[in-house]
Structure 1
Amino acid sequence: MNQALEKLLPLSFRNYVSNIRVYQYYKGYLSYRNQYKGKSKTIFVVGSPEHDNLGDHAITYAQMNFLRKAFPDYTLIEIVANRLMHNMRCLELYSTPDDIFVLQGGGNFGIEYFREEEVRRKIISEFPNNKIIVFPQTIYFGDTELGRAEFKKTQDLYGSHKDLTLVAREATSYEIMKAGFRNNDVLLTPDIVMSLDLTDPPKERKGALLCIRADKESIFSDQDKASIQNYSSKHFSQITTTDTCILRPVSLEDRDHELNTLWNQFKEAEVVITDRLHGMIFAAITSTPCIALGNYNYKVVGSYEWIKHLGYVKFTNDLNRIPELIEELRQIEHPRYNNEFSARHYNQIIQSMSDSLNEPSASSIVTA
């Protein structure tokens, strides 16, 4: 079908057409690969989004970038979360035990975003003989009857897999995973988006950018948000608002465009104020001075520990500190992101995947 025409069709039908196309591609590729007795090596990247959260899209973008560099001899096949069931039969027929499954990183390891947990459970249960690795995640099931029950189900299933590695993206999640998944390997690395460096090309900076969440993870009242706006307006004549959730679905084809549009907003700001985890990370990787605010769990403050050495990203739970932090940040000349700190941590992921391949370790990651 002509792609221009396809974009005019309802999203549900476009997804149907895309599901057919993706299935045919997987089937054709994997059938061809099997004719040559598995000589073509494959990494399946499973659980990527088509929803509106560009933080999750940035994770997929960074994962694919990371894997291409670390495993240049492997074919990468991305499987979107809401298309998994359309492609399960193909995976069952044509994948081999030598293939690796990479499960999407993020902040959805728990019951808050349960569809993603169901995707992980499906892959882990259906492919007991494959190497599976969950990319850097925050775990949060909550201390409720439902949370405890689902955590127990996850523990039992994950613990029964013979080659499953879990990667935590901050220390609290690491401790929970180490204690709760004793039969699995557990690693600790930064969020995979920190592997990117998007400083160049630089842009002219002007004003403040407010990236404050409006969903269930927000802890700020309308009065709190008004205070953030007022503090900012006293220091900057230009105030721009944005969010990492853009209130419309984002297809694979549109991912790069939407991400670059948002990243350019960050690169054009003098200071970012955000309670979004990826608002803070986007500021870091674009070398943008930032005030990061806490949310309802430990993922922002925990991830801040990886980048607090940068100096141009500040964390606080006290909104009254915003004016003084703005003044501190405006004194910093030419902040510059350097992602070399993260490479040695990510090399744990490469080593874990390489061990299961029964071959020499893949390339150490070259961050970019």
Structure 2
Amino acid sequence: MSQALEKILPLSFRNYVSNIPVYQYYKGYLSYRNAYKDKTKAIYVVGSPEHDNLGDHAITYAQMNFLRKAFPDYTLIEIVANRLMHNMKCLEEFCSPEDIFVLQGGGNFGIEYFREEEVRRKIISEFPNNKIIVFPQTIYFGDTELGRAEFKKTQDLYGSHKDLTLVAREATSYEIMKAGFRNNSVLLTPDIVMSLDITDPPKERHGALLCIRADKESIFSEQDKKVIQEYTSKHYSTTTFTDTCILRPVSLEDRDHELNTLWNQFKEAEVVITDRLHGMIFAAITSTPCIALGNYNYKVVGSYEWIKHLGYVKFTNDVKQIPALLEELKTIQRPRYNNEFSVQHYSQIIESMASSSAREPASSIVTA
């Protein structure tokens, strides 16, 4: 919460703001906003998580970091997906046509995680006069009757908005979006988490870290997973297990702590083997040697294309290739992540958002 808002809202209200509908909270923001001679403009970051997937939390973390740097003259207001309906009255009353909506990036553009698609549809339908941008996403509706029907609904709604930009995070999604959303602007950039560099401070590294998923997106059997563990046991003194899904809800207040705890696990490993997209990306941004494995769609292999030049991240779908890749990674001395490759791509996002209107003074961050 911004220091300016802390002066407006009573202490008792601030202590419970994360647990209640936030109409009064926006009244506090409105008072802050109107206190300036020239009304400040806002970026509403909509759809952030409170579930257990730290990959999604890292996306929100990176989005906020990116927007804070790129648009210092805007007030950032983060709206959790679970609380969108509580916030609609506030948004309808206080949002101005000059405000921008940023919709959460990730891998939920489709029917697999349909609540997030409903969040996007709600904002796109309710705010036809605002600039809206969907941050880097993987699109996957699937070739089923339900998937085709919902894709058509999404196409019709998105295509009717006059200022909607879609950002794909890998080439396959880009081609699908370009073909399916001809009335919208479509960009291609890396996953926004690649904008981060979490290498420093470095940690002393020991053993292997396995970050293997156990959900519907995995393509590996229990026997495959056992074989992977046997490989690492032969090459490293210890094998530790982790996951980007930590099986407990993560609040906004706990986000940074949980992310840094997981990132430190990566920084303390000699090598990571993972079939999690953000397992691969976390290895990259912490400068950790990594073997990335594929999943049921194209998001891991597609995102690997952005970082394969790093050398210390390798991709395979063949478990039998792991021993040779482990030997190859052992020859790499002190790898170091450099996110400069992504800057030119992310500049497209900045240009798209900045084209809506000129900036005005004042900056803060509000969370709802």
Is 1:263 equivalent to 2:263 in the alignment? yes
Shift of 1:237: 1.3
Shift of 1:35: 6.4
C-alpha contact 2:166 2:185 (8 A) present in aligned 1: yes
C-alpha contact 1:290 1:313 (8 A) present in aligned 2: yes
Separation in structure 2 between the aligned mates of residue 113 and residue 165 of structure 1, nearest angstrom = 21
Shift of 1:20: 2.8
C-alpha contact 1:137 1:169 (8 A) present in aligned 2: yes
TM-score, reference length from structure 2: 0.92
Instruction: Flag the 1:38–1:79 CA change in 2: closer, same or farther, 3 A.
Output: farther
- Alignment correspondent of 1:177: 177
- How big is each residue's C-alpha offset from its partner over 1:347-366, in whole Å with a ceiling of 9 and x where there is no partner? 00000000012459xxxxxx
- Alignment correspondent of 2:107: 107
The secondary structure found in structure 2 opposite 1:256 is helix
- Alignment correspondent of 1:353: 353
Shift of 1:36: 4.9
- How big is each residue's C-alpha offset from its partner over 1:45-87, in whole Å with a ceiling of 9 and x where there is no partner? 0000000000000000000000000000111000000000001
C-alpha contact 1:38 1:96 (8 A) present in aligned 2: no
Separation in structure 2 between the aligned mates of residue 168 and residue 314 of structure 1, nearest angstrom = 22
Separation in structure 2 between the aligned mates of residue 173 and residue 299 of structure 1, nearest angstrom = 8
Letter in structure 2 aligned against 1:167: V
- Alignment correspondent of 1:344: 344
- Alignment correspondent of 2:154: 154
- How big is each residue's C-alpha offset from its partner over 1:87-146, in whole Å with a ceiling of 9 and x where there is no partner? 100000111000000000000000000000000000000000000000000000000000
Separation in structure 1 between the aligned mates of residue 357 and residue 51 of structure 2, nearest angstrom = 33
Instruction: Flag the 1:200–1:36 CA change in 2: closer, same or farther, 3 A.
Output: closer
Letter in structure 1 aligned against 2:244: T
Aligned-pair identity in percent equals: 88
- Alignment correspondent of 1:294: 294
What count of residue pairs does the alignment treat as equivalent?
347
Separation in structure 2 between the aligned mates of residue 38 and residue 349 of structure 1, nearest angstrom = 26
- How big is each residue's C-alpha offset from its partner over 1:185-242, in whole Å with a ceiling of 9 and x where there is no partner? 0000000000000111000000000000011111111101101111111101100000
Is 1:203 equivalent to 2:203 in the alignment? yes
Is 1:191 equivalent to 2:191 in the alignment? yes
- Alignment correspondent of 1:240: 240
C-alpha contact 1:244 1:278 (8 A) present in aligned 2: yes
Separation in structure 2 between the aligned mates of residue 55 and residue 202 of structure 1, nearest angstrom = 21
The secondary structure found in structure 1 opposite 2:206 is coil
The secondary structure found in structure 1 opposite 2:235 is coil
Is 1:66 equivalent to 2:63 in the alignment? no
C-alpha contact 1:43 1:77 (8 A) present in aligned 2: yes
37-46 or 149-158, which moves further after superposition? 37-46
C-alpha contact 1:19 1:83 (8 A) present in aligned 2: no
- Alignment correspondent of 2:11: none
C-alpha contact 1:19 1:86 (8 A) present in aligned 2: no
Separation in structure 2 between the aligned mates of residue 22 and residue 325 of structure 1, nearest angstrom = 51
- Alignment correspondent of 1:3: none
The secondary structure found in structure 2 opposite 1:108 is strand
Is 1:165 equivalent to 2:183 in the alignment? no
Letter in structure 1 aligned against 2:169: R
149-158 or 34-43, which moves further after superposition? 34-43
- Alignment correspondent of 1:43: 43
Letter in structure 2 aligned against 1:262: L
C-alpha contact 2:109 2:139 (8 A) present in aligned 1: yes
- How big is each residue's C-alpha offset from its partner over 1:137-192, in whole Å with a ceiling of 9 and x where there is no partner? 00000000000000000000000000000000000000000000000000000000
Instruction: Flag the 1:92–1:34 CA change in 2: closer, same or farther, 3 A.
Output: farther
TM-score, reference length from structure 1: 0.92
C-alpha contact 2:212 2:273 (8 A) present in aligned 1: yes
C-alpha contact 1:195 1:339 (8 A) present in aligned 2: yes
- Alignment correspondent of 1:326: 326
Letter in structure 2 aligned against 1:264: N
Shift of 1:34: 4.5
Separation in structure 1 between the aligned mates of residue 110 and residue 66 of structure 2, nearest angstrom = 25
Listed as ranges, the gaps of 5+ residues in structure 2 are: 1-14, 361-368
